[in-house]
Structure formats: C-alpha cells, structure tokens
C-alpha cells in the first residue's frame, strides 16, 4: 500500500464538459462533473505527492466557474501546496500539429522548491522562426498530382511547395482505427463541392438549426486547413458536424487514426471499441508530445530537489 508522501507526482484531467468553451451564459455552472475537480484534490490530500499536475479546458478560467477553481486552490494550499497557475499552454508551441489551448495547474508540496524558469517548459516550436509549428499536412499521405494541383491553386505555389506530407503510400487497411464516419449520399455530394481549405459557407450549406437566423460555428463541415496546425481534436473528431474535421481533399471526415496523429499518438497505438468510443479516447487525451515535455519538466524539478538535498547533506556532514 502507498504511504503518505511516497508518490512523486499525480497527474489528472478531471472531466471538462462542464467547463467546456462551447457552453454559453450559465450553462454548465451546476454540472455535477465540475465537482470531479474537487474529487481529484481528494487523491492529492490522501497521497500527499511531491507534485500534482491538472489539465483542463480554458473555460475553467471563466468568471462563472471561479468558485470551483478558487475552492480547489484553497484546499490545495491548506494541504501544504504552493500553486503555480492556472496558465494556458497551446500544444502547437510544443511540436503538436494542432491548435489546442489547455489550462494547467501545477502544485508543489511545500518541501519542494523550484527555480525561476523551471515552469512552464519553454516552447519548442514557433510561428515565425525555426523550428516552425507543425502543419496539418504532415498528418496525411502525399496526395495525387491532381489534388496537389488543386492545393496549389488555392494556397499558391510558394505555400504548397513547403507543405510536408507523410511518406507512406497509402493508409493501412488492416489498422482497426483507420475508420471514418459513414455519411449519407447527399452529405457526400455537399462535401464534394467543398474546395480545399473550404467550409460549408463555400457551398451555401445552411444547417436546419440555422433556419431561425442563428449563424453557429463556421468551422463545422469545414475541410482541415493544410498549411496551419490542425483544429482542436475533440471527442467528436471523426464527425464533420462537430468542427473542421472534414478530410482536406477526400469527401468524408478524418479517420480515427488521423485524429490520433493530430494528438501525436504513434500509428501502432490501438484504440478499442467502436468509432464513438475510439473518438472519446483520442479527443480526451493530452497530446503525447506535449505530455512528454510536461512530464520531463516535472521530473527535472523533483530530481533537482533531491540533488539539492544531497548537496546540503554533504555540506552538513
């Protein structure tokens, strides 16, 4: 059995639907899932790890959710933790081909010190200097010459020539995650009219829920933009009605495998269940490459504290 203060680190991402940014007005304020942030604290209180790290959506910082956040911070402080954050990090700044803003809270037990610059980890990729952000094109296999011509016509030759694609010739048909949503024929026809980088607005795609004048999100049913980091991968990442999840040139939503690539999962990582279950596993994850960088920083903080303690012990002796 684990004892108090035996754990080095607890990492968690309490369910974020109640804090999700798509909610409006006071929706989500009384969502019972919000209490799971406090339930996460219960584990911290029981095990007293050297550090803890929480991940959640930016909506956690909204004024309407401040009571949950302040209560969490108060409880952690009362248990002897110094809180760094909350702060927002974007996965695209850490080599992930995805525009994904998330909130992180780091808690340090009061016997753990930290040096300036240890947290948060510095960005590794940039918009205007090398190494550049990783664009969505790198998720997909190189298209045919006719598709490249269409891409060039839309993006221009200079941009199109700089696009990088995967080296594999075609998708692995034996991959259980190489599946996409089955669409009705009339939807496929509309998709076929959506140009490279285009959206539903390019084909006068008026949704039934917009008949009363509601504009809605312009990205739904949009094609993924090749020359930019991809969209935020959510649990509905396989469904073009949930965001800009339409394949860049094929007339269907992206596959679960392609969504997983946006999350920087290796192709040999297998997600189980049906497409809905697979989508939840992919969309709820912290991008692998970002997770590695955050974990490395946490480990280094702990190691530095041990080295400091050993040095102090040597000086005393």
The gap from C-alpha 57 to its chain's centroid, in whole angstroms, comes to: 9
For 185, the token pair is 């024929």
Of 229, 219, 208, the residue nearest 92 (C-alpha): 229
Alpha helices in the chain, H assignment, sequence order: 36-47, 66-78, 145-155, 157-162, 185-193, 256-262, 275-283, 288-316
H or E, element range at 11: strand 9-12
DSSP annotation of 227 reads T
Q: How many CB atoms lie within 10 A of CB 265?
A: 20
**Do the beta carbons of residue 191 and residue 181 sit within 8 Å?**
no
Query: So which residues are the catalytic ones?
Result: 16
The separation between the first and the last C-alpha atoms of the chain, rounded to the nearest angstrom, is 34
Question: ∠ at Cα 233 (229, 237), nearest 5°?
Answer: 120
């Amino acid at each position: 059995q684990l004892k108090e203060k035996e754990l080095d680190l607890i990492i968690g991402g309490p369910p974020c639907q109640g804090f999700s940014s798509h909610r409006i007005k006071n929706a989500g304020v009384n969502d019972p899932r919000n209490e799971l942030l406090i339930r996460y604290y219960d584990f911290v209180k029981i095990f007293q790890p050297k550090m803890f790290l929480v991940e959640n959506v930016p909506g956690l910082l909204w004024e309407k959710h401040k009571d949950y956040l302040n209560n969490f911070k108060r409880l952690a402080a009362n248990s002897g933790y110094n809180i760094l954050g909350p702060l927002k990090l974007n996965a695209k700044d850490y080599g992930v081909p995805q525009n994904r803003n998330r909130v992180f809270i780091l808690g340090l037990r009061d016997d753990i010190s930290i040096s300036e610059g240890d947290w948060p980890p510095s960005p590794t990729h940039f918009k205007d200097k090398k190494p550049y952000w990783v664009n969505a094109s790198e998720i997909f296999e190189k298209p045919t010459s006719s598709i490249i011509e269409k891409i060039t016509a839309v993006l221009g030759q200079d941009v199109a020539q700089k696009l990088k694609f995967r080296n594999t010739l075609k998708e692995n048909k034996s991959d259980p995650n190489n599946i996409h949503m089955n669409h009705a024929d009339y939807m496929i026809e509309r998709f076929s009219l959506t140009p490279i980088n285009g959206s539903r607005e390019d084909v006068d795609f008026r949704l039934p829920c917009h008949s009363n004048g509601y504009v809605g999100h312009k990205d739904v049913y949009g094609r993924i933009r090749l020359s930019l980091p991809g969209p935020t991968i959510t649990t509905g990442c396989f469904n073009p009605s949930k965001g800009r999840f339409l394949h860049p040139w094929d007339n269907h939503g992206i596959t679960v495998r392609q969504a997983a690539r946006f999350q920087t999962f290796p192709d040999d990582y297998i997600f189980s269940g049906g497409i809905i279950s697979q989508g939840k596993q992919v969309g709820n994850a912290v991008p692998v490459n970002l997770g590695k960088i955050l974990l490395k920083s946490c480990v280094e903080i702990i190691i530095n504290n041990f080295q400091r303690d050993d040095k102090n012990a040597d000086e005393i002796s």
